[in-house]
Amino acid sequence: MTLSVSDPTWYPIASSEDLPFRHVYAGQLLGRELAVWRADDGNVNVWENRCLHRGVRLSIGINEGGELKCQYHGWRYANRSAGCTYIPAHPADAPARRIQNRTYPVREAYGLIWSAANDEQAFRPFPGAEGHDWFALRPMPVNAAPEDVLAALAGLAPDDQPADLLPGLAVRFGGTYYFVQPVDACRAVIRGLLAEPPAEPVATLRHYNETLTKLRDRLERAARKKPAPEPLQPAFDKVSADLATMPDIAIPKGNTITVVVKRKWTSADGVIGFELAARTGHLPTFQPGAHIDIHLPNGMTRQYSITNGPGELMSYIIGVKAESASKGGSKVLVETVREGDLLSISEPRNNFPLRRDATRTVLIAGGIGITPLLSMARFLDKSSLPYELHYFTRAGETVAFRADLEALHGKVTFHTGVPRDEIGATIASALGQWSMAQHVYVCGPGPMLETVRETAAAQGWPEEAIHFEYFKNDKVIDNSSAFDVELARSAMTLHVPSGKTIMEVMRDAGLTVPSSCEQGACGTCLTTVIEGDVDHQDVYLNNSEKASNRCMMTCVSRAKSARLVLDI
Amino acid sequence: MPSIDPTTRDLWQVIAATDEIAPGIVETTLLLDTPIALTRDNAGNPVVWRRTDEEQGDEVDAEAILDRLPATTGYGYIWTSLGNPPADLFPIPEYAEADRKNMSCGSIGIHVSAPRAVENFLDMGHFPYVHTDILGAEPHTEVKEYDVEVSEERDEVLATRCRFIQPRAAKSATTAMEVEYVYRVPHPFCSVLYKSCPEDESRRDVIAIFLQPMTEERCRAHLLQSMIDSTSTITDLRRFQQTIFGQDKPILENQYPKRLPLDPRSETPIRADKSAIAYRRWLSQKGITYGVIPMAS
C-alpha cells in the first residue's frame, strides 16, 4: 500500500485528553501539520497549521475559547468556520474580506479525535465500535512506514487468536484495537483502544507502553536498514484571487443564506428574540457589531444586529422590537414568523467595527440598541479586555437579554427609567474624561446618539474614539442637484433632475433596484461607482469609503460632477 | 544540492564579523550549501576558500591558500561570493560618520530562509505582538499608510514615512514615542533601517541586518548598529538588539513553509504589507530562486 496525500480515510490524530481547554495541539496527518483545538463550547477544530497571513504555525497560537489568536500579528480566527475576525494592523476596517483558514473534517469519538485529508468520505465507526466504554492508550510515535507498523501490530496477536485487519490501517485482537495514524511516508503513531476501562488503569497503561516500546525499537531498527521512502508533499492551497490582491473597500455581495427559525421568545416586554440556525453545519463568521439583512415574507428587507459571542456560529440570535409604529418590517417578523419557518438572510456585514486593542472600552446602549453592544461585550469578555456596558431603558420597558448580560464578567450597569433631563449627566459620568486609547461605542435612538457624541466631545473624546451606528438617517437630504447617470451594465444613460433620487429615476426607467430603508442608513442599495464625483448624503459608509469615491447609496446620494458612471 | 540562481551566485554574501576572525586561525561556515573556510592574513585582509579538509581552529599560513574566493570587508563584516561580485558593496554612508557607535551585534543562526528573515525585518505589524512593550504595545496596533517604491536607479526597495508608536524604541528611549522609519532593501538578503534617534532629532540611528544564506531553509543573521548614543555602553546596545532578535527567532522558525513564497496567491497580504509585497515582487523580477518558492511559470 502506498500512502497518498489525498487519502480520504478517517484516521485518529489525537486523544480527547490531548485537548484541554485553552490549549492548541500540534497534530500531523499524511505529511500535513494540523492545529487542533477545543473551543469553550466543546467543539473541536482541525485546521491547517499555518496562519494564512504569513505562514506562522497556529499550534503556537493562543486559544481564547471562541477564537484562536496568531502570535505573529494578532489575527484572530473563529471557532468552527476558521474565518478571520480581526486584523489589528487595520482595526477600523478589517477584515474587509472573507479570509478563512483551511479546515479539515473532524469527529470526536471513542476517546479519540478523528480527521481525514478531505471531505470525500463520511465518518464511519469502526466495526464493533458501538456499545463500549472505550479507554484510550498512550500514543506511541514510531519512525517507520505506517504499513510496516500495521504488520508488526498484527504480529502481536497471540497464536490462538489471529489478528483481524480492519479498514483504515487498523487491527483488532481480543478487546484491543490498534489504529495506525499515518504521519508521513516513514512516520506513524500507534493509537490503541481498550473496549472497557481496566480495573487498574496505571498498571495497564504501563503494560501496553512496555509492549509498544519494544515494538517501536524493533521497527525503528529495521527501518534504518531500509532506504527511507520519499516524504509526502502536501500542496498548500492557493488563496483566492481576491485575497491575493490589496483589499479594497468591501462591497457586500448579494449572497443570501436560508436559515430556520429555531426559537422565538419574548426577551423583554416588547422585545422578541429570534434564534436563526443554518440548515446544515454552521453559519458564516461575523465580527462583533455586525448585522444581517433579513428578507421578510412581505418583500421588505430589514437589518438586525447579531448578538452572539466569538465563535458561536451554529445560530445567530437577534432581538426585534415589536413597535406599534413599525412601518411593517419588524411587525411581520413579530406577528407572522413562527418557529420552524425558513427565512432568507444576507451574509453578515460590519459597519460598526470594534477595536480590540483599547485600554478601556465604554459601550452605551439605548433600548433595542443593546443588540450589537451585547455581541461586542461578549467578545471583549472572552478576551478578558476591560470594558463597561451602560444599558438605558425607559421606565416601564424591561431589559432585554438580561440573563446574558448578567453572565458577563465586565461592568454592566442598567439605567432604568432615568428622567430625560438626567440622561446627559449619567452619560457624562459613565464616559469620564478621555485618555489615550479609550473608545466608546453607542447604539440607540437618534437623540441619545447625539447626547453621547456631544458629551464625549465636551469631555475631550476625539472623533475617532466615538463609534456609533445609525439605523436611521436624520440628516436633511439636499436633492437640488441635477446630473446624468450612466448605467454601465444596463447600457443606459438617465437624467436625474432635482427633487428626484437616482433610485426613483432608475425605477421609472423600468429597472428593479433593491432597497430597504431608502434613507441612506442600511446599505441595501450600495452600488459600485466607476466614474464621477459622488455627493454622499448617507450615514452608512464611513469616511474612508466615502473618500474612495468607489461606492455610493443610490437612495440618497447624488453627483457633484455632471455625470456618474455606475456598475448597474 | 539545490541550484543557485546566477543573481544570488554573483552577490556579495556576508559570512562573519571581521573582529571575530583571528589571523591564521581557520573558521568554517556554510554559504549557499557550500562549505567554506576563512581566515585573515597578517595584514588583516580576509582570505576565503572552499573548505577541503580543514577543521575549525586549525592554523594555516594564509599565503599558502591559492584557490581563493573573492573577499572584502565592509560594515564590520567579511563578505565573499561564489560568482563574480560587483566592485563595491551597497552603500551605507552613515557608517563612516565619525561620532557614531558602530558595532556588530552578533551572528545568530535561524532555521528559516534568508528572505523570510528580511521580510520579518521590514514588518511593523508584529511589533506589538512579538516585541511587546519594547518596539510596540497594544493599543498601538495600527499600521498607518506609508510609501514604498522600488528605486530603479539604486536597484533597491525603499519604504518611507513608516510611523509607529513605540514604548521603548531604543536603548536610550525612556518614554513612548512615535518613531519614523525608513527601510531600505539594497541587497536581496540585506536590509537597512533608519529610525528617529531619541538623542538627536535631526539624525537617525541605523540598524542593518545582513543574512547569510546557509541553505535554502537556514541562515545566519548578522546585525549591525550604527548609533548616536552618548550614554549606553556597547554591551548594553548589543544586548538590546539581541533581545529583539531573540523574540523574532521562535516566530521565524515557526513560519511554514520555511522558504519565502513569491506567488502572490500563496499568502494573504493586507495594506500593512506593502513593503513585503514590493520585496517579493523585486526578488521575483531579479530571478532569485534560492530560499524562495518561485512563482510557477
B255-265: per-residue pLDDT in tens? 999 999 998 88
Q: Please give the interface size between A and B, counted as residue pairs whose CB atoms are below 8 Å apart.
A: 102
Could you report how far apart the first and last alpha carbons of chain A are, in Å?
56
Q: What is the 3-state secondary structure (H, E, C) of B108-138?
A: EEECCCHHHHHHHHHCCCCHHHHCECCCECC
Q: How far is CA A190 from CA A123, A219, A403, A530, B190, in A?
A: 20, 12, 47, 60, 46
More confident residue, B142 or B176: B142
Q: Which residues of A are less than 8 Å from B257 in CB distance?
A: 55, 236
Q: Quickly list H helices, A283-387.
A: 329-336, 370-382
Kindly report the nearest CA distance between residue A444 and chain B, in angstroms. Answer: 27
* pLDDT at res. A324: 55
Q: Which helix (H) or strand (E) covers residue A403, if one does? A: helix A402-406
3-state SS, one letter per residue, for A404-467: HHHCCCCEEEEEECCCHHHHHHHHHHHHCCCCCCEEEEEECCHHHHHHHHHHHHHCCCCHHHEE
Q: What's the farthest any 2 CA atoms get from each other in chain A?
A: 96
The one-letter amino acid code at A553 reads M
Query: Per-residue pLDDT tens for B204-240?
Result: 999 999 999 999 999 999 999 999 988 888 899 899 9
Q: What is the pTM of this model?
A: 0.85
Is residue B271 within 8 Å of B239, Cβ to Cβ? no
- Who among B142, B251, B257 is closest to A72 (CB)? B251
- DSSP letter string, A144-191: S-HHHHHHHHHTTS-TTS--EEETTTEEEETTEEEEEEEEETTEEEEE
B142·A49 Cβ contact <8 A: no
Q: Which of A141, A228, A233, A240 is nearest to A182 (CA)?
A: A141
Residues B26-43 have a mean pLDDT of 96
Q: Does residue A94 belong to the interface with chain B, where contact is any CB pair within 8 Å? A: yes
User: Distance (Å, rounded) from C-alpha A398 to C-alpha A403?
Assistant: 12
Give me Rg for the CA atoms of chain A.
29
ipTM for the whole complex: 0.92
For position A160, what pLDDT does the model report?
A: 86
CB contact under 8 A, B265 and A241: yes
Which residue of B125, B255, B267 is in closest CB contact with A89? Answer: B125
Chain B residues in contact with A247 (beta carbon < 8 A)? 270-271
Coil, strand, or helix at residue B198? coil
Strands A411-416 and A387-393: parallel
- Residues A205 and B114: their CA atoms lie apart, in Å, by 46
Q: List, for chain A, all residue ranges whose pLDDT scores fall below the cut of 70.
A: 1, 94, 96, 242, 244-254, 324-328, 471-474
CA-to-CA dists, residue A1 to A145, A189, A496, angstroms: 10, 17, 71
More confident residue, B224 or B55: B224
Residue B173: what pLDDT? 67
Q: Provide φ and ψ at A382, rounded to 5°.
A: -65, -30
Considering only CA atoms, give the Rg of chain B: 19
**Block residue for cell numbers 433596484:** A513
CA proximity to B268, closest of A78, A246, A285: A246
Residue A118 has what pLDDT?
93
Nearest CA in chain A to B128: A73
3-state DSSP helix/strand/coil % of chain B, to nearest 5: 20, 35, 45
Residue type, B250: P
Amino acid at A295: H
**Residue-level pLDDT at A249:** 47
For A306-316, give one letter per residue: b (16+ CB within 10 A) or e.
bbbbbbbbbbb
- For residue A549 the three cell numbers come to 469615491
Residue A539 CA to residue A541 CA, distance in Å, equals 6
Is the pLDDT assigned to residue B252 strictly greater than 90? yes
Contact between A53 and A70 (Cβ < 8 Å): yes
Using CA atoms, how far apart are residues A318 and A372, in angstroms rounded to an integer? Answer: 9
Give the separation between CA B260 and CA B269, rounded to whole angstroms. Answer: 14
In tens, the pLDDT along B84-105 reads: 999 999 999 999 999 999 999 9
Concatenating the DSSP letter of every residue in B206-245 gives EEEEEEEEEETTEEEEEEEEEE--SSS-HHHHHHHHHHHH
| CA–CA distance, B159 with B149 (Å, rounded to integer) | 6
Instruction: Note whether A361 and A386 are within 8 A (CB).
Output: yes
Q: Does A74 touch chain B (CB under 8 A)?
A: yes
For residues B124-149, give the mean pLDDT.
90
Q: How many Å lie between the alpha carbon of B283 and the closest alpha carbon of chain A?
A: 17
A60 three-state secondary structure: helix
Name the nearest CA neighbour of B17 among B117, B114, B108, B107. Answer: B107
* Subunit contact A436:B125, Cβ cutoff 8 A: no
pLDDT for B174: 67
Quick check: helix, strand or coil at residue B48?
strand
Distance between A385 CA and the closest CA of chain B, angstroms:
11
